[in-house]
Structure 1
Amino acid sequence: MSGLVGEDEVVELCRDLIRIDSTNAGDNAGPGERAAAEYVAEKLSEVGVESRILESDARRASVVARIEGTDPGRDALLLHGHLDVVPFNAEDWTHHPMSGEIADGCVWGRGAVDMKDMDAMILAVVRRRLREGRRPPRDVVLAFTADEEAGGRYGAQWLAQEHAEVFEGCTEAIGEVGGFSVSIGQDKRLYLIEAAEKGIAWMRLTARGRAGHGSMLNAENAVTELAEAMARLGRYEWPVRLTPTVRAFLEETSAALEIEFDPERPEATVAKLGPLARMIGAVLRNTSNPTMLESGYKANVIPQTATGHVDGRFLPGYEEEFFATVDELLGPNVTREFVYHDIAVETGFDGPLVRAMAEALEAEDPGARAVPYTLSGGTDLKAFSRLGIRGFGFAPLKLPADLDFSGMFHGVDERVPVDSLRFGVRVLDRFLDYS
């Protein structure tokens, strides 16, 4: 490993990206990703990488580029990261979310972990390698996408549908929400690599009844119908379903913790994961969380309709069971429609790419143990999987044991340790050589 340019540069790249406003509230009315895309394209151009900025709509921009490998006979590898971030309320933060400030050994700001950190790591590794004349063994396609935070309609989905040619030859990919460490004891760390994602079902529920005066009897109250249906969904105890990835994670984690894994009581293992239990606990089963309610226009008027929204997530292989249960819980007087619906994905935790990730981690952290896990949310991988690309979440970060990393995603005071960014650059550099 020669030089430290990439390690030093990654911090400034991350800070620069955080300072570019690319907030995405999901209404296509924000600043878009154009400024961030131009920044990325410029940084690639400086080391001789020709890129394309592709706009799906005004300001909704993604960047794609291809770096030729030394072995043209091999399939290509996709490295992807999104440029948009979720909105924020600056008054709630210790440091302004667009400052990119360095404090307490961390880079602070919206996108510090979701996912301008990975964007910066990819840029830093690519720039370092090309400055040193080190091309990857196989072609590497870079995709910095728009709109991931709203499902990718203006980003990865659009690219996969309208510009599939830029991914020609890609069979494997790495992206966000994986490769981060969870400390198990003094000298042992699990690195969670995403090998599966739950499917998404954001649903709008509608109840219809009979309008009338609020002072009179009314057995056809739409608000009552909707509230009861939402309560049934929100309180329903979904059964545990141990998918292959979830089971593998629990078995590996139990072994690392030196406890016996009991498939009848998986929560016992999850409970030992501290704050991470919120995210891991959500992949033991399907989930259905009510999130919004709307009805009426005056306190003494019973409205004819009432609407609500539910965030539903289903495990790979359990979509049919999920919707059959939802419809049963809704009852005959409440209908549903999709606000957003996307697939669940899962791949085996084996093969040369998995070995490359594990070996790159172990080379930089002898206490590393790579384990597969299922993400409770979703990423751009869903869109790329439709092109036949097998993907993993691998944005490697060695984290302090006391950092609530899962709480950083979409949270207040989002931040990433400086040392973790530098670690990620070293691991990704090795990974490209091993892959």
Structure 2
Amino acid sequence: MSEVARICSDLIRIDTTNPGSGERPAAEYVAELLDEVGIPSVIFESAPRRTNVVARIPGRSPDALLIHGHLDVVPADPSEWRMHPFSGEIEDGCVHGRGAVDMKGTLAMTLTAVRDWARRGVRPRRDLVLAFLADEEATGEYGSRYAVERHAGLFEGCTEAISESGGFSVQAPTRFPDGDDEEPEVRVYPVAVGERGTAWMRLTAHGVAGHGSKPPVDNPVAELCRAMARLADHRWPVRLTPAVAALIEALSKALGEPIDMERLDEEAERLGVVGALFKAQIRNSANPTMLDAGYKVNVIPGTAEAYVDARYLPGHRDELLDTIDELVGPKITREFVNLSGAPSAPYPSPFFDELCRALVAEDPLARPVPYVMSGGTDAKAFHEIGIPSYGFAPLLLDPDLDYFGMFHGVDERVPVAGLEFGVRVLNRLLT
């Protein structure tokens, strides 16, 4: 078993479900792996068992690169999985379990690379700051946000960062421009240069409490349901930001065919897995995710609550909030559970080019493209202290693996060969 597969499996077997009992066992395991090869680390907790680990590896250049990742995972119901989600089983060439993709596999790649350097006496090109953080799967309050507020000095000198959700392969057929009948395959590698902003909110409908058998005066449950239906049915307009326009242009070039900018929804469907790279990134979104109302079947409650996961494109936060207010109506109030920005990293840039070269060096079929994540990461917190993050967790994937479906999905798994590819790419990039 390769070291990267073993570390990934070990990390998966440590249950760090959020919410749960905390990240401490996984943080201690990471610190031990670093200590074994002489890499000192700083361990700190934002609350009991909400544990973070940061280490700095001196390089040949004093400017530093931050590599950050999270130790926590979302919940998993074992009854829905083919293998137990915290087994870390290795079967059919894959490591199985919650966090294999999001993102213990990436942590394993980083740890494998730096442990190998330490054993061989190799120094990276520049200082590296490694951050293994708590709470990314919630708000980051106990992880990245706490780290930048209370321990910003640990990240001194970091000019860029890399983390999850980028650098993975998406295989797609293409034609030669001259009309040759052959259809060679290229692999598109999206490298994230930004992400949508987050606006999680609690919506509350206020009404008149009463007996369930009486005609309702002002039923907040009904009011809330109508509002959530309007919100769920709303079709948000396309808003093409510069980064997403650059992605679509790069995809068109990589595929050797035009993509119609006036019909992006249809084009996303036509292009399948390639189209998924921009399908959710061309508009704002707001999805009802939780409902909480009432306490007894024969009582109309005075209030009802719902939770909404809203995401906005850079520069379009006000449009998002104004539209939500209009859709839900004046009887419903809202408050933020989590509001964070839409961070971006320089593009084009010399460092983006370095990321691309590392991929192409290991995969000649690679066609790197800029990418904007539909969700959010700890990049939001580091952006607040002036460290731009790129999504770069390199993986060479089997075309049949539904990579996007692995995030928070059932039967999450990552190919061992893909992890080993990622270690090689990180070696090229960092040494």
Q: Shared topology, TM-score over 0.5? A: yes
Instruction: Give the letter for the 1:134 counterpart.
Output: V
Looking at structure 2, the residues matched to 34 and 329 of structure 1 have their Cα atoms a distance apart, in angstroms, of 43
Mapping for residues 146-225 of structure 1, pairs under 5 Å: 146-185=134-173, 186-225=184-223
The number of aligned residues is: 421
- Determine the structure 1 residue equivalent to 2:241: 243
Distance in 2 (CA, whole Å) between partners of 1:33 and 1:150 is 13
| More displaced stretch, 295-304 vs 126-135 | 295-304
Displacement of 1:224 in angstroms is 1.9
- C-alpha distance in 1, partners of 2:363/2:268? 24
Q: How big is the shift at 1:349?
A: 2.3
Partner Cα distance (1:426, 1:127) in 2: 13
1:47 is the counterpart of 2:37: yes
Aligned residue for 1:229, secondary structure, equals helix
Kindly indicate whether the alpha-carbon contact (under 8 Å) linking 1:238 and 1:285 is maintained by their aligned counterparts in 2.
yes
Shift of 1:124: 0.6
Moved more, 301-310 or 364-373: 301-310
**Shift of residue 276, structure 1, vs aligned partner:** 6.2
Residues 1:377 and 2:365 aligned together? no
**1:96-135 mapped onto 2 (5 Å cutoff):** 96-135=84-123
Give the alignment of 1:245-264 within 5 angstroms.
Answer: 245-264=243-262
Structure-1 separation of matches of 2:277 and 2:84: 26
Structure 2 match to 1:364:
362
Q: 1:95: how far off?
A: 1.3
Please tell me whether the aligned partners of residues 196 and 342 of structure 2 are also in contact (alpha carbons under 8 angstroms): yes
Aligned partners of 1:253 and 1:419: how far apart in 2? 26
**C-alpha distance in structure 1 between counterparts of 2:158 and 2:259, whole Å:** 37
Contact 1:275 1:406 in 2 (8 A): no
For residue 143 of structure 1, the aligned residue among 131, 152, 158 is 131
Instruction: Deviation per CA, 1:90-127: give whole Å up to 9, x if none.
Output: 12111111111111111101110000001000001101
Q: Quick check: 1:22 aligned with 2:10?
A: no
2:24 to 16, 21, 34: 34
Q: List runs of 5+ in structure 2 lacking aligned partners.
A: 174-183
Contact 1:179 1:396 in 2 (8 A): yes
Q: Which runs of 5+ in 1 are unaligned?
A: 1-6
Give the deviation of 1:277 after TM superposition. Answer: 4.8
Q: Label 1:273 to 1:11 Cα distance change in 2 as closer, same or farther (>3 A).
A: farther
Superposed CA RMSD in Å reads 1.5
Q: 2:267·2:275 contact (CA, 8 Å) conserved in 1?
A: no
* Secondary structure of residue in 1 paired with 2:73: coil
1:9 paired residue among 3, 17, 38: 3
TM norm structure 2 = 0.95
**Cα deviation, residue 161, structure 1:** 0.3
Aligned to 2:410: 412
Distance 1:224 1:361 in 2: 53
Structure 1 residue matching 2:147: 3-state secondary structure: helix
Given that 1:179 and 1:191 are in contact with CA atoms closer than 8 Å, whether structure 2 keeps it comes out as yes
3-state DSSP of counterpart to 2:201: strand
Q: Deviation string for 1:132-189 (max 9, x for gaps)?
A: 2111111110001011111211001000000000000111000001100100124300
Equivalent position of 1:271 in the other structure? 269
Find the counterpart in structure 1 of residue 176 from structure 2. none
Where do 1:298-309 residues align within 5 Å? 298-309=296-307
Deviation at 1:302, TM superposition (A): 2.1
Q: Quick one: which of 30, 46, 49 aligns to 1:59? A: 49
Would the aligned equivalents of 1:233 and 1:289 in 2 still touch at CA under 8 Å?
Answer: yes
Moved more, 382-391 or 344-353: 344-353
Residue 345 of structure 1 aligns to a residue whose secondary structure is coil
Distance in 2 between residues matched to 1:208 and 1:276, nearest whole Å: 44
Q: Distance in 2 between matches of 1:14 and 1:327?
A: 44
- How far apart are residue 278 of structure 1 and its match? 5.3
Deviation string for 1:10-46 (max 9, x for gaps)? 1111111111111112xxxx22111111111111112
Tell me, yes or no, if the aligned pair for 1:342 and 1:382 is still in contact at 8 Å.
yes
Q: Which residue of 2 aligns with 1:399?
A: 397
Of stretches 158-167 and 199-208 in structure 1, the one that deviates more from structure 2 is: 199-208
* Contact 1:196/1:347 (8 A) holds in 2: yes
Output the amino acid matched with 2:302: Q
What is residue 349 of structure 2 aligned with on the other side? 351
Per the TM alignment, residue 387 of structure 1 is displaced from its structure 2 partner at its CA by: 0.8
The Cα of 1:254 is off from its aligned counterpart by: 2.2
Q: CA deviation at 1:299?
A: 3.1
SS of the aligned residue for 1:115 comes to helix
Could you tell me how far apart the structure 1 residues matched to 2:31 and 2:295 are? Answer: 50
Counterpart-to-counterpart distance in 2, 1:121 and 1:160: 24
Mapped to 1, the partners of 2:14 and 2:278 lie a distance apart of 32
Aligned position for 1:426: 424
